[in-house]
């Protein structure tokens, strides 16, 4: 008989809380991964995973939380906190070198409160796929860097975000959500559009008409990538926040 697990997503603004109920094993971890990925689409300030009703059948399945934390660190640049695991699950989490990087709290209400008060600095803009979108994106990131006292990051970040937005204008042609987040030690840039075609290294995506696109993004960022986000995708980049 196969295991089952349910994933209930609640929004306790500005934190997303995912309550898991059932058995977590290698068969159910995929559905957990998808639920946690979907919870990140709205770009909450933190993601709290309630494990009070989870029966961990296989300790290897706990790696789903480390994978989610790595994704959330890149985009949308927010922390993932586990709360109220069983004593056995808590021990397995502490013993795992993979999962040890994910914070664990015994109390979900307290974890949600703390996550909400430790939210990252963030600025957002909704842009249409028009010629002026790149200029507006540069203005947004320049304003953010000035507000957060990051003068050295302003120029590179403006160039990178302009390329990401320009790519949406040229190829996706959909409205986009542009986000600039400071979660030290990185400045996170993200553009979420309505096209499911993934930007990928070596492809035509992120290769600007001026020839700079992908090369510039690769040279100026610590890391960058593209992940599914709802019906579209998020293209993100991380720069040192110096």
| pLDDT tens-place string over residues 127-156 | 999 989 999 999 999 999 999 999 999 999
CATH architecture of 121-240: 2-Layer Sandwich (3.30)
Determine the pLDDT at residue 198: 67
Comparing C-alpha atoms, which of 162, 167, 161, 157 is closest to residue 207? 167
Residue-wise burial string across 23-39, b where 16 or more C-beta atoms lie within 10 A, e elsewhere: bbbeebbebbbebbbbb
Low-confidence ranges of the chain (pLDDT < 50): 200-204, 208-211
Q: How far apart are CA 181 and CA 10, in angstroms?
A: 23
Comparing C-alpha atoms, which of 66, 49, 62 is closest to residue 111? 49
Domain chopping of the chain, boundaries: 5-117, 121-240
Determine the pLDDT at residue 206: 56
Determine the pLDDT at residue 211: 46
Rg, the chain, Cα only: 19
5-117 and 121-240 agree in CATH topology: no
Q: How far apart are CA 70 and CA 53, in angstroms?
A: 24
Q: How far apart are CA 197 and CA 93, in angstroms?
A: 36
Label the pairing between strands 15-24 and 176-183.
unpaired
By the 10 Å C-beta count (0-12 exposed, 13-18 middle, 19+ buried), 118 is classed as: middle
Token digits of residue 141: 């990131």
To 10 degrees, what angle do helices 151-167 and 133-147 make? 160
Distance, CA of 39 to chain centre: 10
Indicate the CATH number for domain 5-117.
3.30.750.24
Comparing C-alpha atoms, which of 180, 181, 191 is closest to residue 129? 191
Whole-angstrom distance between the N-terminal and C-terminal Cα of the chain?
53
Q: Residues 130, 177: contact at Cβ < 8 Å?
A: no
Element (H, E) at 68: helix 63-74
């Amino acid at each position: 008989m196969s295991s089952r697990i349910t994933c209930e997503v609640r929004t306790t603004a500005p934190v997303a809380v995912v309550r898991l109920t059932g058995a977590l094993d290698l068969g159910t971890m995929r559905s957990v991964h998808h639920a946690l990925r979907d919870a990140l689409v709205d770009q909450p300030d933190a993601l709290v995973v309630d494990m009070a009703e989870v029966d961990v059948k296989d300790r290897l399945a706990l790696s789903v939380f480390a994978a989610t934390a790595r994704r959330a660190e890149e985009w949308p640049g927010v922390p993932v906190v586990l709360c109220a695991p069983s004593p056995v699950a808590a021990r397995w989490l502490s013993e795992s070198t993979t999962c040890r990087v994910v914070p664990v709290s015994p109390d979900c209400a307290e974890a949600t409160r703390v996550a909400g008060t430790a939210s990252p600095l963030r600025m957002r803009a909704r842009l249409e796929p028009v010629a002026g979108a790149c200029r507006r994106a540069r203005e947004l990131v320049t304003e953010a860097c000035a507000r957060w006292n990051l003068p050295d990051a302003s120029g590179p970040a403006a160039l990178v975000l302009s390329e990401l937005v320009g790519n949406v204008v040229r190829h996706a042609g959909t409205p986009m959500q542009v986000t600039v987040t400071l979660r030290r030690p990185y400045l996170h840039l993200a553009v979420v559009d309505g096209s499911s075609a993934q930007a990928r290294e070596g492809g035509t995506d992120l290769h600007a008409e001026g020839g700079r696109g992908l090369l510039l993004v690769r040279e100026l960022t610590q890391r960058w990538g593209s992940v599914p986000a709802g019906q579209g995708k998020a293209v993100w980049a991380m720069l040192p926040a110096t």
